[in-house]
Structure 1
């Protein structure tokens, strides 16, 4: 990949028994995430707009490596047909380390369940900043918890 040493992409995948549409919907309307995994995601608050709509602004309170952090994101893109979603960070702790940060999610039908692919796109403020592996772990493990919750009912 041709990119500056400061720009990067990390990708992670999980499999879940939850149908792709149901999981995509739950992540788009993110309020369920804090209910399902309160040990990782402390709160998810809608600041502007409506859940599951482009342009909505959400504040996330979460733990990264046991440390509380906060992030404000704008829902940049949602495609209900292809089950994709993009959150872009506009304020918060993550922007102390990264000039830009996006979470891209795609839920791909896989039998009765789904394969969920998360891609983090970022630009570090300097070479000393590590890749956001702990953020990738947080989003994939939270997504796995949501998938398990959706199939329990």
Structure 2
């Protein structure tokens, strides 16, 4: 059985500039657990430097009622378009997916921005469901980060 690459996307509107969100998510993700401790318990740097392509980040997060982990490689960062691409290389997601990639891009929208999340993934088998609940988790997380950054202005 050949698996195919699938895609799931969502947009989240926040009241913070795209640059500010991108800077925070890309270069200071280890602060996210302070902003949203119910969703993210920790974010550690395993290799490289924060905000650097090729670096490896290790997330402890809470999803679907369970504590989970994900190790991600920063594949790409584009400060011009405020985007970052993260590829999952270890963790709970790889129990259901052959590959899993997140692309996060913040674009200007009025006084704030729209954060566009794209999940690209290959399921291990047809019984695996689409990662809708994970997409909802990151959308809610975005709002938490946006609310936090507004108070930091």
TM-score (norm 2): 0.95
Distance (Å, rounded) in 1 between the aligned partners of 2:70 and 2:83:
21
Q: What SS does structure 2 have at the residue aligned with 1:109?
A: strand
Distance (Å, rounded) in 1 between the aligned partners of 2:11 and 2:65:
23
Q: Deviations over 1:102-139 (max 9, x none)?
A: 01001001122100000000000000000001111111
Matching of residues 14-33 of structure 1 within 5 Å: 14-29=12-27, 30-33=29-32
What residue number does 1:7 align with? 5
Q: Deviations over 1:4-40 (max 9, x none)?
A: 7643100011100011000011111211211110000
Distance (Å, rounded) in 2 between the aligned partners of 1:66 and 1:98:
19
Distance (Å, rounded) in 1 between the aligned partners of 2:25 and 2:67:
21
Q: Which runs of 4+ in 1 moved over 2 A?
A: 4-7
Alignment gaps of 5+ in structure 1: none
Matching of residues 1-153 of structure 1 within 5 Å: 6-29=4-27, 30-153=29-152
Distance (Å, rounded) in 2 between the aligned partners of 1:10 and 1:32:
26
TM-score (norm 1): 0.95
Distance (Å, rounded) in 2 between the aligned partners of 1:102 and 1:13:
17
Distance (Å, rounded) in 2 between the aligned partners of 1:70 and 1:41:
10
Alignment gaps of 5+ in structure 2: none
